[in-house]
Amino acid sequence: AAKAPVGAREIPLARARFAAIQGRNDDVVALLANVDDPGARWLEANALARAFRHPAGRAAAERLVQGAPDDRRALALLARMRGLTGDHAGALAAADRLLAIDPQHDGGLYQRYLALRALKRPAGQVADAEDVWLRHRRHDELDRALRDGYRRVRPGDRAMDTPVGPD
């Protein structure tokens, strides 16, 4: 097989990463249309999700997980996309698969809670899933959310610049 010219894969990937940083999700998808690379599949699936193109995002996430069945980010995205397309049983399956790999994964715990709630499972089971998710939320994420909220209310105030929580 003929070798692709140097940059045939790297240049579109770099451009797609830059477009993703800028929030140009449709450009990300267009730039990666002919790139076969695990990183390209992740960028494409994530861009489609961020553009609220849920059915296409789900299909891309399904392909992503086929190529990387134990990838935590891929499984979290798949669970989210399945839930957003109404496949709550599929979302629960993806979340459970993720939690088998990483029992404290915030995205997996959250998607599991959402799926159980959407499936109208017993209230106790839903409440337990919510409690587990809330208990395992990462302190840095909570800290960032607190500081970001404070900055929105008090722009320019530097009081929240020092992280809080356990070291």
Question: Domain segments of the chain: what residues?
Answer: 82-156
* Arithmetic mean of pLDDT, 109-137: 93
Highest averaged pLDDT of the listed ranges 6-10, 55-59, 131-135: 55-59
Please check the confidence at residue 138 and state whether its pLDDT lies above 80: no
One-letter amino acid at 50 equals: R
* Arithmetic mean of pLDDT, 29-51: 87
Name which residue leads in pLDDT, 99 or 23: 99
Give the alpha-carbon dihedral of 106, 107, 108, 110, to 10 degrees: 80
* Residue 150: pLDDT band with limits 50, 70, 90: confident
Among 85, 86, 129, 87, which Cα is nearest to 108's?
129
Helix axis angle, 72-84 to 88-101, nearest 10°: 160
Global pTM value: 0.74
Please state the three-class secondary structure of 121-161 as a single string: CCHHHHHHHHHHHHHHCCHHHHHHHHHHHHHHHCCCCCCCC
Helix axis angle, 88-101 to 106-118, nearest 10°: 150
Q: For position 48, what pLDDT does the model report?
A: 92
Q: For position 140, what pLDDT does the model report?
A: 61
* Residue 167: pLDDT band with limits 50, 70, 90: very low
